[in-house]
Amino acid sequence: MLELKENYRLAGTINGTTSAEGIQAILDKLGEAEVYGNIDSSKVILDIGSGDGSALNELKTRSGVTRAIGVEFIESRHDEAVANYPECEFHLAAIQEKLDLVAEADIIFTNDICFPKEVFWSYWSSIKVGAAVVYNKISNSVKLIHHYDYDRREDFNKLTVEANNMLSEFHIIIKK
């Protein structure tokens, strides 16, 4: 676990950002019935690597959910989020220390392109069946296809949005 946490901490030298328009495109795609369906106030959104909190705030504001949770391990970014977005719930921790929050979430968002691959798999088993998972580390999809029986045509919804100062491809899956 220590090695995984240290690798995860190294990823913190790069901060990903997702534009407000990108967040809206993701919510629009999630809202399609064949993807996830109705996003109502009872849903819980979790942003893994929530940074300054801006993406989580956009997700909460645009979706209308009551509970939006961010987990960030860089203290200065966490403190910025807490100061700027008091209506969101933020935790200063590595995600491996907050698996209870992963298990609660209905929608998990992570702009994880700079995370070591082990991070996604460290919380995968804690995600509840039926939860929507939005991520942009595309190598995760390869493993889901080859080891977890996800179908490349039926289970993955892809969209390209402005993120990380460029166009970035995100994948959305529903946990089986």
Query: What's the CATH number where 142 sits?
Result: 3.40.50.150
Q: What is the mean pLDDT of the chain?
A: 87
Q: Look up residue 7 and give its two tokens.
A: 């690798």
Give the chain's domain count: 1
pLDDT > 70? residue 117 = yes
pLDDT band at 168 (very low <50, low <70, confident <90, very high): confident
Locate 69 and state its tokens.
């949770």
Contacts of 139 (CB under 8 A, 6+ apart): 117
pTM (2 d.p.)? 0.89
List the domain range (segments joined by +) for residue 132: 2-174
List, in sequence order, every residue forming a beta bridge with 45; answer none if it has no partner: 68, 107
Residue 5 has pLDDT above 60, yes or no: no
What is the rounded distance in angstroms from the CA atom of residue 155 to the CA atom of residue 34? 10
